[in-house]
């Protein structure tokens, strides 16, 4: 149960709380997409409809990392699994309900096409990526199954420090699994992530060794200048070993509480992300397949495939 101070802080930031440890937050791209203005990079890269995407967390406070680029308040971090977890169906019902409540305000907006509003009232995608780490929710396999049962897609983003949960998910696969690779080596990892477990780097490497077993697998690099945007050849070596389907390089943004840990000047420009990506490609054999300039993100693959765009 969230205490009143923490609850008030999250609500002030725009989170809609669900149960004891989950939340939804309607992101900028949903608001733009429902007006027909622009879409999230997940729409550009993978075909996910931004106006129908639920950005969520099932572990608001639970994480083994205190990453410099994270928008969370580190004061609240709980480095263990969720205790007395809510049921998957209760969580999913709550996430969808809160999303729809928030978006009701767009119904009377003359800039919102009726078709897009009506579609937004039937979400089709759940991103388990908002805050905390979803693998610390003990009933995560059941939640993935519940999402799939409702004919929705799921993108799960994890820091890779619960390889045992990833093993369980091999029988309950999310539509797409992301593992964040926050550093090219353990020394940079310790500075960047400030882990709350001693063997974090080892756990991450074990999870990366499992990654190729998932049908749609992604390694994400969230890059900060003068911190972890170094040693592209070491990143390339780790990526080559893990054999993901996709690799994303994204600029870290000084938003939320991250603005107190990183300077605005540390946020890479899009052209700097492109240049760093090219250095990784030169070593790994990957190619730049797509990009979204206003999100400062690029997509790398061995070879483009029609199947990268998901049919909803």
Task: Note the pLDDT tens digit of each residue in 147-169.
Answer: 999 999 999 999 999 999 999 99
* % of the chain residues with pLDDT over 90: 83
The answer to whether residues 230 and 187 touch, using CB atoms and an 8 Å cutoff, is no
Residue 152 and residue 124: Cα distance in Å, rounded? 5
Residue 240 and residue 242: Cα distance in Å, rounded? 6
The answer to whether residues 221 and 249 touch, using CB atoms and an 8 Å cutoff, is yes
Ordered by where they begin, the domains of the chain are 11-305 (3.20.20.70)
- Inter-axis angle of helices 232-242 and 200-210, to 10 degrees? 50
Residue 139 and residue 130: Cα distance in Å, rounded? 17
* Residues whose CB falls within 8 Å of the CB of residue 217, separated by 6 or more in sequence, listed in order: 176, 177, 179, 211, 243, 244, 245, 246
> Looking at residues 216-231, what average pLDDT do you find?
96
Give residue-wise pLDDT tens across range 67-118: 888 877 778 899 999 999 999 999 999 999 999 999 998 998 888 999 999 9
* % of the chain residues with pLDDT over 70: 99
């Amino acid at each position: 149960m969230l205490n009143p101070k923490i609850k008030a802080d999250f609500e002030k930031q725009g989170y809609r709380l669900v149960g004891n440890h989950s939340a939804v937050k309607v992101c900028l791209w949903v608001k733009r997409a429902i007006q027909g203005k622009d879409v999230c990079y997940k729409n550009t890269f993978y075909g996910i409809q931004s106006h129908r995407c639920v950005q969520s967390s099932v572990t608001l406070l639970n994480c083994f990392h205190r990453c410099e680029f994270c928008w969370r308040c580190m004061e609240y971090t709980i480095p263990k699994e969720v205790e007395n977890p809510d049921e998957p169906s209760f969580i999913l019902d709550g996430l969808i309900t809160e999303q729809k409540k928030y978006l009701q305000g767009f119904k009377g907006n003359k800039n919102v096409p009726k078709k897009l509003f009506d579609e937004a009232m039937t979400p089709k995608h759940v991103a388990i990526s908002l805050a905390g780490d979803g693998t610390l929710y003990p009933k995560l396999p059941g939640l993935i199954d519940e999402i799939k049962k409702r004919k929705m897609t799921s993108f799960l983003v994890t820091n890779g420090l619960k390889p045992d949960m990833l093993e369980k998910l091999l029988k309950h696969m999310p539509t797409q699994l992301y593992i964040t690779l926050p550093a090219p080596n353990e020394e940079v990892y310790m500075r960047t992530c400030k882990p709350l477990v001693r063997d974090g780097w080892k756990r991450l490497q074990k999870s990366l060794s499992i990654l190729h077993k998932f049908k749609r697998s992604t390694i994400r690099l969230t890059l900060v200048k003068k911190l972890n945007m170094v040693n592209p050849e070491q990143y390339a070596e780790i990526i080559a070993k893990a054999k993901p389907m996709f690799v994303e390089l994204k600029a870290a943004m000084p938003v939320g509480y991250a603005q107190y840990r990183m300077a605005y000047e540390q946020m890479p420009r899009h052209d700097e992300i492109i240049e760093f990506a090219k250095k990784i490609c030169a070593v790994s054999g990957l190619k730049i397949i797509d990009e979204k300039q206003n999100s400062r993100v690029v997509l790398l693959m061995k070879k483009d495939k029609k199947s990268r765009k998901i049919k909803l």
